[in-house]
Structure 1
Amino acid sequence: MRFGILGPLDVRAPDGTPLDPGGPRPRALLTLLLLEAGRTVPAERLIDGLYGEAPPAGAANALQSQVSRLRKRLSLDIGAIPAGYRLAVGPDDVDVHRFERLAAQGGQALTAGDPARASALLHEALGLWRGPALADLPAAFGSHLKEVRLTAAQTRIEAELALGSGAGLVPELRDLIAAHPLSERLYGQLMRALHAGGRPAEALAVYEEVRRVLADELGADPSAELSALHLELLRGREPARGRGVPAQLTRFVGRTDELSRIGALLAGSRLVTLTGPGGAGKTRLAAEAARDRPGVCWAELAPLADGEQLPYALLAALGVRGGFRGPQGDPVGRLIDALQEREVLLVLDNCEHVVDDAARTAGLLLGACPGLRILATSREALGITGEALCPVPPLAAGPAARLFMDRAAAVRPDADLHARVEAVRGICEALDGLPLAIELAAARLRTLTVDELAARLDDRFRLLSRGDRTKAPRHRTLRAVVEWSWELLKDEERELARRMAVFSGGSSGGATLAAVGAVCGVPYPEDLLASLTEKSFLEAADGRYRMLQTIRAFCAERLAGEGEVSRLRDAHAAYFRALAAEAEPHLRGGGQLPWLAGLWAERDDLSAALRHLVRTDARAGLRLMADLSWFWRLRGLHGEHVPLARELLAALGDEPPEGMAEEYVLCVINTVAGDGNDPAEPARLARAEAVLARLDHALRRPFVVVLWSVAHGPQHAVKERVRRQVGEAPWGLALLDVGLGFQEFFAGRPDASEELFARALDGFRATGDRWGMANCLDPLGMFADWRGERERALALLDEGLTHVAALEAPEETADLLHRRAYVLLHQDQLRDAADHFTRSAAMARAAAVPDKVASAWRGLGDVARAGGDTERARAHYEAALELCAANWFSVGETVRTLIGLGRVALAVSGAEEAHDWFGQARALCDGPSRALELADVAEAFASVADDPREAAVLLGAGAGLRGLSLAGDRDTAPVAARAREALSPETYEKAFEEGRAMRSAAVSDR
């Protein structure tokens, strides 16, 4: 028979004939039994569903009569047991259970990266609905299924968006929003669907719609995620998001009281810590508590080797990457910049081994970021004032038994555990109600009966109730559970499990099949890996095999002495050394995206291999660090490895090993933190400069030249040795042209510079390197803008934006948006320019690069000034000035901001105050390296010159230092017009040429 309860009750005979269950009460009774198809439903629940809160006298007898009549009317097998009644039908005979299975499979398929299969499964699942679910029961019974249906619909839409659907989803999303007007996820999906369907303006209008709805209904602003989506759609692509709550593949059981308490605590406290013994389910409880909250970012701390890595792990979890320009200083400061203006729930999972650093960092972030809340899991409290603790005890008897039966059903769906509920409760009691222990035990039902399992537990876990109570809870419980599971493995399974402990854990941990075979020395390990996965010793996802941290630690303890540990770590390091060496040249060509993704997936193991080599084989460690350096720069991972680079450099000494000079220089570069707090840094850089100067041949890694200039400051001369160092390969030659292009640019020869950048672009196009192309298109767009070729400038910059989007480089994207904003400003498109500057600021803030935020604020000041709003302009300039960092690359930003304040003063107060601002800007232009900034200063002074001839000279000086006059510049054009009106053409041209011939020193002294 087939049954449908996703709509009015529908009963069909095997041949499809509809059957009538009878009146309202029989229909309600059958619906209640079908909800738990094949499982026992307590009599109290059936009575409540039939009669509500006021059951009649003799309700139990009335229920028995109803069951008897239903049994006879439809020839159903309804068994009566002391606890209640059970309808003997399979879950797939009932539409609601088919729906839940298909919906879960669809969600898993989407998580696994198969949106086509996800869409098909979810379409099939949602097609089972014929109307409101459980129509024959009170409305409260169907509320949960409504939520599940909505989630399935949203997941199906997510899958179809991933498949490229757009406009076709819009009507459905509009209907869903009408039914669920406060669902931010639906609004976000509608924005993406409209954008994908070629309707970007409507997509942006949806954001304004949800902003109004949330403000009117809840008095709240859109979440950080929806705001980020809005910004990303403005630039034409889907957003890069921080890590959300990890997807779960099993049903959550119990913990209703704890979930309610966490919600209440988070409403009143900004730091809530879940405490309890290992295996108590703190991580899963945190995931469930955070799942439906807006603005969640999940940071898994278990893989961290020490507390120094914690800020970088949080930056990675937030999706904040360091910029290419070089080190960004204090990582906690970057965290504060990234979080300061956001509403975020930050989940810190597994704090216990870095509890002091976690407490210190959490305290700093909470003090500086008013919109931040933290939910932490730890075996001990963080110990911060204002911390709210939520102990997570073992499961009570009822939830523990339900958890066991739920997990057991996945491995033995034919087992009738409801008939053995007392035996199940005995097993859970022996396991102290610890969820991890219960799940591992339930998995054993694949090969054991309940009685065999109970007997083994009696033999193995007597220690759990009689052990030494002074030991840590993990040692009193989980060790025994894992040890018992360990003894159920075959010898060859144990051998592989032990060896796999060498791989890192965590979200990017685990190992590929190739890595397992190479490192563990086990040929054809597929069958053993599958067996270990089935027995819950491994998790398998996306072609990787990962151990839970507890099991990994247990297996590591069983390695046969230091000799085996050393051999495994050597093999592990050798494998990842070879991987990094193979990947390194591909990072500078057309294959850089897949190789970047591959190294990113292995980043924890690459770091672990490097740590091992630094302490055991400095030469090998030096080579691995060199091969990873360009990857770190492209992915913003440099700062994480500064301590390790310093440790390696200390082991190497003051001179490089023979034949490893360029690797040594890269190691020195990786020691630079950029915060000015290391007094030994100048001496190290001087040693590296001497080493680099001796390299008079083509480098194996020509990117050394780039990283050296980033770490050591601006270079304005391409020496002959640099020409030889980059070599004759296409990438190196293109890089050389970039260096020569900047040399000509700083020397005030824009035509020669543009020619070199164009040639470099062709070279990088030939290699397929997106980083190189974007870094050429940026100055080329600038030159076109300077000449007044605005449309060409926009086209060049748009191509650059495409490349940095593929690289997922937020800082470079901020730079290109900033450049594009000035082109729009020069076209008098003030609203669009302001929008670009705003987006640039948001991306720079997300990347925690304050000087780029300052640059965008300066741009907003220029827009406001162009629109005649001097007060707003002044406010933007002052905000920009406060954000300028104390480093060599922000001096130019400070100069131009001071000039902006001077031009505001000129419009409001007069020339005297403006002259003071311009003088401050000129004081920063010390030396030939600041010729371009000095050009802007000269033109600024021209605007306050009393003598028109002096104004012409200064305008000429600006053009000479830059190499040309800026076409259509709104600040210099009126000054030139006034000077020309006051002077004869011959006098003006003579004065202008006099200024053009002046050198920097003469202009500074004028």
Structure 2
Amino acid sequence: MRYGVLGPLAVQDAGGGQVAVPEAKVRALLAALLVHGGAPVSADRLIEDLWEGRPPGRPLNTLQTKVSQLRRALGAEQVPRTPAGYRLRLEAGGLDAARFRDAVEEAHRAGGPSERARLLTGALRLWRGPAYADFAGAAFARDEAARLEELRLDAAECLAEARIELGDADGALPDLRELVGAHPLRERLHALYMRALYRAGRQGEALDAFHGLRTRLRDELGVDPSAQVGEVHTAILRREAAEPPRSGPPERPRSNLPAPPTPLIGREAESEHLCRELRAPDGGRLLTVTGPGGVGKTRLAVAAVRSLRADFPDGTWLVELAGVDRRSSAADIAERVVTVLGLCEGAAGAEAADLVGWLCGALAGRRLILLLDNCEHVVAQVAEVAGALLAAAPEVRTVVTGQEALDVPGEAVLPLPPLALPPASAGPGLEPIAASGAVRLFTERARAASPGFVLTAENAPAVAAICRRLDGIPLAIELVAARVRALAPERIAAGLDDRFALPTGPGRGRPTRQQTLRAMIDWSWGLLTGEERTLLRRLAVSPDGTTPEAARALCPDRPPGGRSALDLLSRLVDRSLVVRDGDRYRLLESVAAYSAEKLAEAGETGEVRRRFVAFHTERAELADARLRGARQRRSLEALDAETVNMRRALELAVRHSDAGSALRLVNALAWYWSLRSRLGEARRSLAAALALPGGPPVARAVAGAWLASFEGRPGRADAADPVLRARLLCSVGTSLYREGDRGAGRRLVEEALAGARAAGDRWGEAAALAERADHRVDAGDADAARADAERSAELFAAAGDRWGRLRAGGSLARAAELDRDRTAVAALLEEGLRGAEELGLWGEAVETLLCLGHVAAAQDEAARARRFYARALRLAAERSHERGAAEAAARLAAAGARSPAAAPAAPPS
């Protein structure tokens, strides 16, 4: 069976014939199963999706009838039932949306514009109308349809970009004009439209398009066009045929703040105050939002900071510290900030002891907001970092959330009270009750749980009583509002009266509001099944959220016929105990603390921590194996997403003297740290693992060799695996050569090359050849260097390794430079730049832009050289690549002041 959702719902059988699916609810059932991509969907979820809070009588029986009708249309085997629910059997390529995503991903990996245009044209032909067109008003399809439409727009932009590169600007213009009309504020689209107009000889229209966009942005958003659009405008004014923006990330993201899943309610005054303080030139540069757990500190801070993105050109950044060990140092906090901002710490050679100072220097002169969230367990360390930033970076605003102030000079504190409660003696009518923040929040969350819920004169007194009983604590209100699906407000209010007449157990002795929150979490806990309780308490060990796979690893003892981890997670989300963030599931801080207590009470803490460490160690090893091939980009992204949990796993292994796991973990992450230039983290982590007694001697030797490589000193790996041994020799040899010990470096690389060939390791051979090619360039032997680099590029291409192609391309470019074949050099460097941007290798991207600038200068293209140097300078400054920034500034000054012939004599090596 093949299914189509990129337009009206369509079904085809194996022969290509149309399959009729009768009745609207049966078609909706099929669409709901397709939204989940073949994953099981619980009966409860399907009932909610199909009837949206207004289920028929005997809903399970009605659902089974709809499933039977769908099976008759498709075949019984196509809609099997599993313990986790119903699912749709989907074969590879059976869903047009999946084929579209795969084609777009392949296009982004493609090298030349012709191939990109071919793949994107085919992908866009799959669309027959809006995604899930038959279900535009259905809540279950809304998010997936929006994601597909955004991907469709991105593909259309990339296709237009490829056509412009191919010289078909006239052909790209009709589609671009239609897209610009439909998306009048989308800046990358306008940049492409302006370039296409200019390339088609319509400079006046291109300038009119820019002025129209600028006017709309100022009138509707109060902002100016981005730097990307400004560069296009400048190039058009100067009549410079600048290259179109490349596919991949068109512009560095300026924020990592999550989009709020629900609107902020009842905090208008506090949000306005926070925004006013942050925006004012003489306002607070360090603001701490304090309050008890569950009062909504994070939600307020994220919403306020998110609204200020246009005021802070260097970004608004969330640094989550809930998963940081309380014994961490200020340098560990600084390292988290460096990682979130994507700064090139490795390019500066910063050590842990100096990382706070390095961070201050990197942020000096930038205008940005740092939101350091959940800091109550590391108050002293955060105070040290925040105080240093206060003194060294006057344009940086720091917002901190926690249960106490930092007590730093210059700090402004905003104590966050509970939500406003309805008056105790409200008169007749709804207005006095409905106006309070607590009731507004309850009403909105109750409506989300049960779409038919309405605040009425009959239920308003009960809702007001609930909010008063809960002291206006947002999290407690949300937990209770989720029960409206099963209980009327009057029943909930009566249940709360009974509950608060009973002792609250471990909550005794806490402040009243914390007892209230504790009671509500207790109540929610009591309504869970045994499986749900087991998973919830075990999730407390994951500081940065979890995936369904990780949740399964924490609960391998699922009873026969039990629910799947994904189904359990979905049920916990429905109960407001777990928050879904994309494909990750997180605990709120108060729920996490409660769950940790329950984990200890169950006597499972040690065992669950061992499972957590084992799972992330295995995941790191699996990702490491995939970092050298076609799945490199996805593996990098997976490790990026799990950074906090990986660090937590290493902390636990070190704390409990589990040398075996610690050594396995650091050895698996070493190549990832190298690719991401996290040299300081690599040195510290390897040293911590090696300081533990015991562990397999081979793993210890491998970790020692990796540490020697990162420290630039001699070292050998007595690894039994000849492939691993050769790769480590190459890594150490490369490091020694670049640190100045060229003789030793050359010998180790030669030994590594021989070892890789003997072991049949094509990847290791390619890496050693690329390094040896650079040695031969330095010796002036262009022919030998070119031969090595070409063979390296061939082997890396066969492996599908994007970093390897970048590495070999750099060596080929250097060899071609010796022959003055500058056309070949530029083509190789352009390919390398695309690879560096795709993988987020910003140091390599800076170096490649410098090389491209040099080549342009040598070809008497001064304006083009300046553009490359300017891009390099911007990127280096954004990522705090100090050496690259200094080099780019010097070259930019030289290109502007002297003739191209006076440019530097050789590209950077």
Please, what TM-score do these two structures have when normalized by structure 2? 0.70
Distance 2:554 2:383 in 1: 40
- CA distance 1:228–1:173, change in 2 (3 Å): same
Deviation of the 1:121 alpha carbon: 7.6
Q: 2:613, 2:661 within 8 Å by CA — same for their partners in 1?
A: no
Corresponding residue for 1:536? 576
Call closer, same or farther: CA 1:662–1:757 in 2, change over 3 Å. Answer: farther
What is the one-letter code of the residue matched to 1:784? A
Whole-Å Cα distance in 2 between the matches of residues 328 and 541 of structure 1? Answer: 33
Q: In the aligned structure 1, how far is the partner of 2:503 from the partner of 2:899? A: 75
Structure 1 residue corresponding to 2:522, chosen from 445, 470, 483: 483
Q: Hey, what's the Cα distance between the residues in 2 that align with 1:525 and 1:441?
A: 24
Q: Which amino acid aligns with 2:337?
A: L
Quick one: which of 447, 450, 456 aligns to 2:489?
450
Pairs within 5 Å for 1:438-837: 438-461=477-500, 471=510, 475-505=514-544, 509-513=545-549, 515-517=551-553, 519-522=555-558, 524-560=564-600, 564-614=604-654, 615-640=656-681, 642-652=683-693, 657-666=696-705, 668-669=707-708, 672=711, 685=713, 689=715, 691-692=716-717, 698-700=722-724, 702-709=726-733, 712=736, 713-716=739-742, 717-719=746-748, 721-726=751-756, 727-837=759-869
Deviation at 1:486, TM superposition (A): 0.9
Structure 1 pair 209/666, CA: closer, same or farther in 2 (3 Å)?
farther
Q: Is the 8 A contact 1:325 1:710 kept in 2?
A: no
Output one character per residue of 1:764-820: Cα deviation in whole Å (capped at 9) or x when no partner: 112111111111211322332343222111111111122222212111111111101
Q: Which amino acid aligns with 2:605?
A: V
Aligned residues of 1:298 and 1:347 also touching (Cα < 8 A): yes
Q: 2-side partners of 1:390 and 1:118: how far apart? A: 52
- Structure 1 residues 269, 595: CA separation in 2 closer, same or farther (over 3 Å shift)? same
Q: Secondary structure at the match of 1:348?
A: strand
**1:281/1:225 CA distance change after superposition, 3 Å:** farther
Structure 1 match to 2:8: none
Secondary structure of the residue aligned to 2:382 is helix
Cα shift readout 1:8-60 (whole Å, capped 9, x = no counterpart): xxxxxxxxxxxxxxxxxxxxxxxxxxxxxxxxxxxxxxxxxxxxxxxxxxxxx
Instruction: Check the 8 A contact 2:346/2:677 in 1, yes or no.
Output: yes
> CA-to-partner distance for each residue in 1:56-104, whole Å, 9 max, x for gaps?
xxxxxxxxxxxxxxxxxxxxxxxxxxxxxxxxxxxxxxxxxxxxxxxxx
Match of 1:318 in 2: 341
Q: Verify the 8 A CA contact 1:810 1:843 in the aligned structure 2.
A: yes
CA distance, structure 2, for counterparts of residue 851 and residue 823 of structure 1: 20
Amino acid at match of 1:620: S
- Any conservation in 1 of the 2:323–2:648 contact (CA below 8 Å)? no
For residues 758 and 186 of structure 1, the distance between their equivalents in structure 2, rounded to whole angstroms, comes to: 41
Please give the per-residue CA displacement for 1:843-901, whole angstroms capped at 9, x wherever unaligned: 1222221011111122223313433999xx9xxxxxxxxxxxxxxxxxxxxxx8xxx9x
The aligned amino acid for 2:578 is L
Q: Which residue of 1 aligns with 2:456?
A: 418
1:186-205 equivalent positions in 2, closer than 5 A: 186-187=186-187, 190-191=190-191
8 Å CA contact retained: 1:119, 1:156: no
Q: CA deviation at 1:515?
A: 4.3
- For residues 502 and 195 of structure 2, the distance between their equivalents in structure 1, rounded to whole angstroms, comes to 61
Tell me the distance in 2 between the aligned counterparts of 1:175 and 1:583.
41
Pair 732,746 (structure 1): closer, same or farther in 2 beyond 3 Å: same
Letter in 1 for 2:400: A
CA distance in 1, matches of 2:578, 2:361: 38
For residue 299 of structure 1, the aligned residue among 306, 313, 319 is 319
The answer (yes or no) to whether the contact 2:256–2:318 under 8 Å persists in 1 is yes
Q: 1:249 aligns with which of 261, 276, 280?
A: 261
Residue 652 of structure 2 aligns with an amino acid whose one-letter code is H
Q: Once the two structures are superposed, what CA deviation does each residue of 1:251-273 show, in whole Å capped at 9, x if it has no partner?
A: 32122211221222222332332
**Cα shift readout 1:924-958 (whole Å, capped 9, x = no counterpart):** xxxxxxxx99xx9xxxxxxxxxxxxxxxxxxxxxx
User: SS of 2:294's equivalent?
Assistant: coil
Give the deviation of 1:250 after TM superposition: 1.6
Q: Distance in 2 between matches of 1:621 and 1:204?
A: 59
Seen in structure 2, the aligned counterparts of structure 1 residues 860 and 299 have a Cα distance that, compared at 3 Å, is same
Instruction: State the partner residue of 1:861.
Output: 893
Within 2, Cα distance between the matches of 1:386 and 1:158? 43
- The residue number in structure 2 matching 1:1002 is none
For 1:341 and 1:225, the matched residues in 2 are separated by 21
Q: How does 1:64-463 map to 2 (within 5 A)?
A: 120=130, 160-165=152-157, 168=175, 170=177, 173=180, 186-187=186-187, 190-191=190-191, 234=245, 237=248, 238-266=250-278, 267=280, 268-293=283-308, 294=310, 295-305=315-325, 306-307=328-329, 308-322=331-345, 330-336=354-360, 338-397=362-421, 398-419=436-457, 420-461=459-500
Q: Is the 8 A contact 2:319 2:370 kept in 1?
A: yes
1:195-243 deviation digits (Å, cap 9, x = unpaired) = 7999799999977997899999999976689889999965554224254
3-state DSSP class of the match of 1:274?
strand
Q: Determine if contact 1:638/1:670 at 8 Å carries over to the other structure.
A: no
Match of 1:298, SS state, is strand
Taking a change above 3 Å as real, the CA distance of residues 226 and 399 of structure 1, as seen in their structure-2 partners, is farther
CA RMSD across the alignment: 4.4
Deviation of 1:587 after TM superposition, in Å, equals: 0.8
Amino acid at match of 2:371: V
Distance across 1 between alignment mates of 2:259 and 2:222: 30
CA distance in 2, matches of 1:205, 1:663: 61
Structure 1 letter corresponding to 2:301: A
Q: Distance in 2 between matches of 1:163 and 1:356?
A: 48
Structure 2 SS opposite 1:558:
helix
Find the aligned partners of 2:245 and 2:351 in 1 and give their Cα distance: 27
Asked whether the equivalents of residues 734 and 763 of structure 1 are also in contact (C-alpha less than 8 Å), the reply is: yes
Counterpart Cα distance in 1 of 2:831 and 2:880: 25
AA of the residue aligned to 2:318: W
Counterpart CA distance in 2 for 1:520 and 1:229 is 55
**CA distance 1:199–1:462, change in 2 (3 Å):** farther
Deviations 1:156-175 (A, max 9, x none): 99565334246545467469
Q: How far, CA to CA, are the matches of 2:227 and 2:597 in structure 1?
A: 43
Consecutive unaligned residues in structure 1, runs of 5 or more: 1-109, 128-152, 178-184, 675-684, 874-895, 901-931, 937-961, 963-1006
> Which secondary structure state, in structure 1, belongs to the residue aligned with residue 747 of structure 2?
coil
3-state DSSP of counterpart to 2:605: helix
Distance in 2 separating the partners of 1:242 and 1:232: 23
Contact 2:809 2:829 (8 Å CA) reproduced: yes
Query: Would the alpha carbon gap of residues 389 and 803 (structure 1) be closer, same or farther in structure 2, given more than 3 Å must change?
Result: same
- Secondary structure, counterpart of 1:191 in structure 2: helix
Aligned to 2:21: none
What letter is aligned with 1:313? Answer: R
- Describe how 1:977-988 pairs up with structure 2 within 5 A: none
- Aligned residue for 1:299, secondary structure, equals strand
| Distance in 1, Cα, partners of 2:801 & 2:753 | 20
